[in-house]
C-alpha cells in the first residue's frame, strides 16, 4: 500500500517492490526468510523431519556495494508446513551456499553440511562446512589450490566423517587428435573429483576426465568446433560423486549423459551407464542427470537413484523430468540396467535448473526440482504426498533435502517487548520471542519484574506454533524475559531480560494519563488482579493466531477486569516503583562516589560495561500483523 502510494506520488515508473513473499520478524528484523506454498495430499504418510534448502537469487556473488540486504539467501531449515526453524544466512553473511543437508554418518549426532560460495573478487574460493547441532562450525574443508572455487555441486561426507568427496573443474589445453585434428589444441574444462581429509583438507584421491573420457563422448562439443581459449570447452560437466562400501566411485557427467563407475583400485572406468557408449543392456533412456547416488551396492548388484531432468539449456529430450531408481546387475553378460521406480515431476514440468533425489529411511522419496524451490515427497510406491514451492519466483535451491534434526542454538532466544496505551488503566505490553534454530520448543513462558532487582513473575504461558511467538500482556510489563519449554516441561534456554520499548515522548505519542507518562507495573499485582477477574471474564480474544493460551490462570489477557480492584492494584504498583526509583538514585550516587575514588581499573570496568550494553537501533519494518511502526532497540550482542 505504502509503495503503491509512493508510485502514485512520484509518478515514476519504479518497478513495484515485491516483498510480501518474504517472512518478517520483530525479533530478527534483519532476517527475511522465504515463504512457502505447501500442498499436503496425505500428511499422515509423510516421513518425519525438516526441509533443508539453500535459496539463492543468482549463482555468482554480489559485489559488496550491491550486497547489503536483509538475510534471504543461505542455509534454511523449515518444517513440513513451511514454518521457519533456522535462518542460517547470518552464519556466512548472506553468502550463497549449496548442497545444504543433514548428515548422519559422522557419529551418533546429526550435523549439517554445505558448500559456501566463492568471494565476488575471487579472493576466497569458498569451502565445505560442517556445522554441529548448536550451529557452531566444526570443520571447514578448503578448495584445492589449482581450481577456481570449491565446486558448488557436491560436498559428500563419507562414513565416520573423516573424508569428503567434492567435484573439481580445472582448465587446461588439450590436443584435438580425438576430433581428427592432431595439429590443433583447445582449452577444455576437465571434470573430476577428489576425496579429501576433512581435518586437513589434504587430497587423498584425485581423478579427472582428461585421460579417461574422450572429447567425442561429449554432447556439447563437436569435431568441427573452433578451438577455445581458457577456460575452454566444458566438455563433461561433472555434477555428482558418491562412493560405495567397496571403495568405487559413482560419478555423473551431465554433458556426456553418462553415469560412470570409477574403480577405487586403479582409477579406471569400470562401466558406463547411458550416453553413446553404455555398457548395459537397458530399456530406458535418461539425459542431463543430476544427484546420482548409491541406494545400495553389494559388488554385483547396485541400486542407484538420480534426477533425470531430461532437459537443459540446449533442449528437451523428454516431456517430463523424473526421478529414476535403477537396479544394475553387473554379474551377468551383458550387464543389465532396469528401472525399478520412476517418479514423474508432479506438475508434469521439466526441471531445467538442477535438482536432487533422496531415498528417506521410511521408504519415502523426497525430490528437489530446484527452480523456485519446487519440492515433492512421495510414498515408496511413488504416490504424491506433498508439494511445496517458494512463494517467490526470484529464488531457487540447488538441492532440497529432508531429514530429522535436533537444533540447540547456544545463543539465547531473542525477545522484544513494547508498551502501548494512552492511560494508566489501559496499558498493554506486546512481547515477541523467537529462538533461531531451536527444534522441539513446545511452549514459551513469559516473565516480568517490577524493577531490575525484583523477582521474575510468570505473566503468561503460550504454545509455540510459529517461528516467532507473540504474547499480549495486560499492563506496563518491564524487565521481560521468556523461557523455552520442551515437551516434558523442562526449561531449554532463557532469553536475556529485556527492557520494554517505550515511545520517545509519551505526550507526543498521545499520552492522556497522569504525569508525563506511565511507569512500569508490578507484575505480581497485575497477575493477581487478573486471576480474580478471570473467573468472570472470557478467554482472551486479542492474542491473535500465534497465541493460544495454554493455562488461563497463569496468563494475562486483555479480557474484562473488575475495574476498581484493578485500579487499586495499579496505584500500589506505581507507588512501589517510585519508592524503588528513589532508592536506586541514592545507591547510584554512592556507586559514583566509590568509582571516582578508584581510578584506573574503574575506567576499564565502565568501558566494559558500556561495551557489553552496546545497543543498535533497527527501523522496524511493518509486518503483516499491521503492528505500529516504531523503533525497536535490540542489544546487538544477542546476535550470533
Among 201-209, 346-354, 503-511, 609-617, the segment contacting ligand NAG (CB under 6 A): 346-354
For ligand NAG, give the closer residue by CB, 542 or 553. Answer: 553
- Tell me the closest approach of the beta carbon of residue 326 to ligand NAG, in angstroms: 14
Contact (Cβ atoms closer than 8 angstroms) between residue 68 and residue 88: no
- Tell me the closest approach of the beta carbon of residue 441 to ligand NAG, in angstroms: 18
- Tell me the closest approach of the beta carbon of residue 511 to ligand NAG, in angstroms: 23
- Closest residue to ligand NAG, based on beta-carbon distance: 311
- Tell me the closest approach of the beta carbon of residue 484 to ligand NAG, in angstroms: 18
For ligand NAG, give the closer residue by CB, 196 or 310. Answer: 310
If one counts every other C-beta atom within 10 angstroms of the C-beta of residue 477, the result is: 31
Placement of cell 525479533 in the chain: 27
Q: What is the dihedral of CA 275, 276, 280, 286, to 10 degrees?
A: 30
For residue 610, report the phi and psi dihedrals to the nearest 5 degrees: -65, -40
Across 14-119, the runs of DSSP E, i.e. the strands, are 36-40, 50-53, 55-56, 76-78, 84-87, 97-103, 111-116
Among 181-189, 263-271, 311-319, 410-418, the segment contacting ligand NAG (CB under 6 A): 311-319
> What is the C-alpha separation between 383 and 365, in angstroms, rounded?
10
Candidate list 96, 321, 356, 364; residue touching ligand NAG; CB under 6 A: 321
Binding mask 274-303 for ligand NAG (x = CB under 6 A): --------------x---------xxxx--
For ligand NAG, give the closer residue by CB, 24 or 400. Answer: 400
Quick check: 351 binds ligand NAG (CB under 6 A)?
yes
Number of residues that bind ligand NAG (CB under 6 A): 22
Binding mask 541-560 for ligand NAG (x = CB under 6 A): ----------x-xx-----x
Quick check: 201 binds ligand NAG (CB under 6 A)?
no
Placement of cell 534456554 in the chain: 493
> What is the C-alpha separation between 249 and 207, in angstroms, rounded?
10
> What is the C-alpha separation between 620 and 623, in angstroms, rounded?
8
For ligand NAG, give the closer residue by CB, 87 or 238. Answer: 238
> What is the C-alpha separation between 15 and 17, in angstroms, rounded?
6
> What is the C-alpha separation between 226 and 188, in angstroms, rounded?
12
- Tell me the closest approach of the beta carbon of residue 353 to ligand NAG, in angstroms: 6
For ligand NAG, give the closer residue by CB, 218 or 321. Answer: 321
Candidate list 166, 310, 386, 433; residue touching ligand NAG; CB under 6 A: 310
For ligand NAG, give the closer residue by CB, 101 or 290. Answer: 290
> What is the C-alpha separation between 129 and 437, in angstroms, rounded?
17
Across 70-152, the runs of DSSP E, i.e. the strands, are 76-78, 84-87, 97-103, 111-116, 127-131, 137-142
Q: Which of residues 427-446 bind ligand NAG (CB under 6 A)?
A: none
Quick check: 268 binds ligand NAG (CB under 6 A)?
no
For strands 322-329 and 301-308, give the pairing.
Answer: antiparallel
Q: Which residues bind ligand NAG (CB under 6 A)?
A: 288, 298-301, 309-313, 316, 321, 350-354, 551, 553-554, 560, 562
Amino acid at each position: 500500500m505504502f509503495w503503491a502510494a509512493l508510485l502514485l506520488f512520484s509518478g515514476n515508473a519504479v518497478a513495484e517492490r515485491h516483498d510480501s513473499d518474504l517472512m518478517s520478524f520483530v525479533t530478527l528484523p534483519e532476517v527475511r526468510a522465504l515463504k512457502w506454498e505447501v500442498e499436503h495430499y496425505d500428511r499422515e504418510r509423510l516421513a518425519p523431519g525438516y526441509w533443508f534448502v539453500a535459496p539463492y537469487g543468482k549463482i555468482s556473488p554480489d559485489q559488496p556495494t550491491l550486497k547489503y540486504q536483509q538475510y534471504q539467501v543461505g542455509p534454511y531449515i523449515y518444517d513440513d508446513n513451511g514454518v521457519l526453524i533456522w535462518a542460517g544466512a547470518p552464519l556466512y553473511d548472506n553468502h550463497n551456499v549449496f548442497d545444504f543437508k543433514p548428515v548422519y554418518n559422522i557419529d551418533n549426532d546429526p550435523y549439517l553440511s554445505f558448500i559456501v560460495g566463492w568471494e565476488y573478487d575471487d579472493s576466497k574460493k569458498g569451502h565445505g562446512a560442517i556445522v554441529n547441532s548448536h550451529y557452531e562450525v566444526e570443520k571447514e574443508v578448503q578448495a584445492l589450490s589449482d581450481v577456481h572455487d570449491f565446486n558448488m555441486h557436491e560436498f559428500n561426507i563419507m562414513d565416520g566423517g573423516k573424508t569428503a568427496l567434492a567435484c573439481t573443474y580445472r582448465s587446461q589445453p588439450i590436443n584435438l587428435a580425438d576430433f581428427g585434428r592432431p595439429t590443433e589444441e583447445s582449452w577444455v574444462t576437465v571434470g573430476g573429483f577428489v576425496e579429501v581429509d576433512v581435518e586437513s583438507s589434504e587430497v587423498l584421491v584425485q581423478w579427472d576426465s582428461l585421460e579417461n573420457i574422450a572429447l567425442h563422448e561429449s554432447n556439447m562439443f563437436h569435431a568441427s568446433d573452433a578451438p577455445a581459449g581458457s577456460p575452454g570447452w566444458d566438455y563433461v560437466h561433472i555434477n555428482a560423486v558418491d562412493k560405495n562400501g567397496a571403495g568405487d566411485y559413482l560419478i555423473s557427467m551431465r554433458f556426456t549423459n553418462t553415469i560412470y563407475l570409477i574403480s577405487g583400485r586403479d582409477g579406471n572406468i569400470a562401466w558406463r551407464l547411458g550416453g553413446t557408449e553404455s555398457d548395459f543392456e537397458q530399456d530406458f533412456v535418461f539425459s542431463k542427470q543430476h544427484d546420482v547416488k548409491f541406494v545400495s551396492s553389494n559388488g554385483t548388484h547396485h541400486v542407484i537413484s538420480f534426477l533425470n531432468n531430461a532437459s537443459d539449456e540446449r533442449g528437451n529430450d523428454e516431456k517430463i523430468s523424473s526421478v529414476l531408481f535403477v537396479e544394475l546387475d553387473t554379474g551377468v553378460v551383458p550387464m543389465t540396467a532396469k528401472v525399478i521406480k520412476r517418479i514423474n515431476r508432479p506438475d508434469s514440468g521439466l526441471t531445467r535448473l538442477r535438482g536432487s533425489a533422496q531415498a528417506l529411511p521410511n521408504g519415502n522419496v523426497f525430490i528437489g526440482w530446484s527452480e523456485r524451490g519446487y519440492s515433492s515427497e512421495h510414498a515408496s510406491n511413488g504416490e504424491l504426498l506433498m508439494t511445496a514451492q517458494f512463494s517467490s519466483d526470484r529464488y531457487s535451491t540447488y538441492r532440497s533435502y529432508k531429514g530429522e534434526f535436533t537444533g540447540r542454538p547456544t545463543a539465547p532466544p531473542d525477545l522484544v517487548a513494547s508498551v502501548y496505551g494512552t492511560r494508566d488503566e489501559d496499558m498493554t505490553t506486546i512481547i515477541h520471542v523467537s529462538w533461531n534454530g531451536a527444534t522441539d520448543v513446545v511452549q514459551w513462558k513469559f516473565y516480568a519484574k517490577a524493577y531490575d532487582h525484583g523477582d521474575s513473575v510468570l505473566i503468561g504461558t503460550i504454545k509455540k506454533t510459529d517461528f516467532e511467538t507473540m504474547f499480549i500482556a495486560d499492563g506496563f510489563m518491564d524487565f521481560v524475559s521468556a523461557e523455552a519449554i520442551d515437551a516434558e516441561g523442562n526449561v531449554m534456554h532463557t532469553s536475556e531480560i529485556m527492557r520494554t520499548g517505550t515511545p520517545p515522548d509519551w505526550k507526543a505519542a498521545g499520552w492522556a494519563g497522569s504525569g508525563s507518562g506511565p511507569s512500569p507495573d508490578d507484575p505480581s499485582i497485575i497477575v493477581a488482579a487478573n486471576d480474580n477477574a478471570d473467573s468472570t471474564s472470557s478467554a482472551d480474544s486479542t492474542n491473535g493466531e500465534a497465541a493460544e493460551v495454554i493455562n488461563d490462570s497463569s496468563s494475562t489477557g486483555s479480557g474484562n477486569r473488575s475495574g476498581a480492584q484493578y485500579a487499586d492494584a495499579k496505584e500500589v504498583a506505581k507507588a512501589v516503583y517510585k519508592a524503588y526509583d528513589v532508592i536506586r538514585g541514592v545507591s547510584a550516587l554512592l556507586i559514583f562516589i566509590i568509582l571516582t575514588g578508584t581510578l584506573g581499573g574503574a575506567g576499564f570496568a565502565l568501558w566494559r560495561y558500556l561495551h557489553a550494553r552496546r545497543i543498535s537501533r533497527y527501523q522496524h519494518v511493518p509486518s503483516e500483523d499491521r503492528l505500529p511502526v516504531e523503533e525497536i532497540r535490540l542489544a546487538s550482542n544477542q546476535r550470533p
